[in-house]
Structure 1
Amino acid sequence: MDAAEDLIPKWEQRSRGDHMEIAAIGEDIRWVFVSFLYAAVASDIASKISRVFCNWEKMAIIRRTALSHLALAAVVVITSWLGWSLGTASGSYARVTEVISRPTLLLLMDFILLVLYYVLESGIEVEGIKPQDAAHVSLWCMVIMFGYVVWNIIIRFVGSSPGVSFFGQISVSFGCAMLSSVAFYLFKRMKSAPPCSVLAADVALISLFLLFRAMKQDEFLHTRWEPQAKELTPPLDATILFARIMFFVFIVATILASLRNQRCEAPGPPGV
């Protein structure tokens, strides 16, 4: 019961958007440095999206797959920045106060994740005449997911918020990483897949990252791993429902992308 009561003011504070708490993250040198990197990646994604629309007629063949890949990259970067910034604002991560310190490891891991975001975005082509397949994005989405697993291990070593279960966090990260591995195994063979299969693959990957973010929220983890907190039904039920919907979308979109690709690869009748 005490755990549930402790969560109520936390959720209400997040709903109001406490200005004092949000403003404090501007004094965190780690947040300032990494936020510039997030802004740079987001700027590159926005630039590529604008190039697609500015050359809409010229990119008639590849514009659908290019936009779906860029939408995936945008979801990955934006949700990552939001989750990371909210965690920083709530004081969940130890601040960097010395060069040689455990919190510096977390800063290095943040930098590595941003490099992975750059790789994901840089491999999305907005030029040429051949539509992209889902091999590149599925590979780097898988790498990013396993990067989140490493990040959770490091945050455990550095020290995190005592109100969040490490077992719950690492289970969510590892579970989504395994799902991303399945997606990569299925999507890497889509070398000559039709655009609709690529779109379905991107929808599957987008839903996977949204599932990951929904499950990573503190409220969800408290509900999942602490049964006594189930009285917080208004915010928690919505989060859990959203996570379940995203999981369902991931499964359906993955199946549709795979089946559509297999139909296109199936040999035609003799003489055709």
Structure 2
Amino acid sequence: MKTRAITGFFFIGVLIAAVLLGPFVFIPFFALLGVYSVYEFYKMVQAMDIRPLVWTAIACATIGFLLLGAVLVGFFPEGSLLWLFSAAFLLYITALFRQSTTAIQDLSYTLFGLCYAAIPFGIFICLGFLEGSYDPYIPLGFLILLWTNDTGAYLAGKSFGRRKLFERISPNKTWEGFVGGMLLAVVVSFNLGRYFDALSNWQWLTLALIIGTFGTLGDLVESMLKRNTGMKDSGSLLPGHGGLLDRFDGLLMAAPLVYIFLKTFVF
């Protein structure tokens, strides 16, 4: 528990610093997290004797993040992002040169890894540029709500948890924990409305509800994948916490929905 607490404290500090130090730190830092999360996913599925095109996919993800960053800071026009579709063609062509009798499975898992891990991190990066120029307070507020939801769920589940939320996938999660996490995120959202004026109170409240709901579902989805692959953790990068996918599983589902909400109703 001590190792977990120390790791969590320093990792949160690094994340906050990466967001506040500006776009030229924020973009490459979270792009690196996205690329490593893709790598963790491929390591997980390799435990099932699947042979994804690991290094070609990582190269595609890296180029994709570089292109996205260049568009967001104004180096390239938005239309340049259409070139990302060529990444799929590169994967198809690479598969031609492999002596594999499971090409469909290999390509399917490869593409799924990019969709599951890389694209949500790319969308999270876009949360910092909703108004065109970089604003750190929306992605920072997102992370704060994600952390408070996790903390509230843990404390409420530990203290009051009785009714299992999804016992087949995650025996330790309870409805009481889910409600506790949601309530704490809602309380914190009103404070964000006071100090982070990028969004109004009702908008932060809506983000809290989206993150509380779909962050929990993202956690359950990652637990399902780990059970399917027979893995306890997605990796060992963070002592006491497991891998990056274990820490950002809620972001993977919540970030795209938060982005859709903000682009549709706010910006």
TM-score range normalised by the length of the shorter chain: 0.3 to 0.5
- TM-score, length-normalised on structure 2? 0.34
TM-score by length of structure 1 reads 0.33
Pick the structure with greater CA Rg. 1
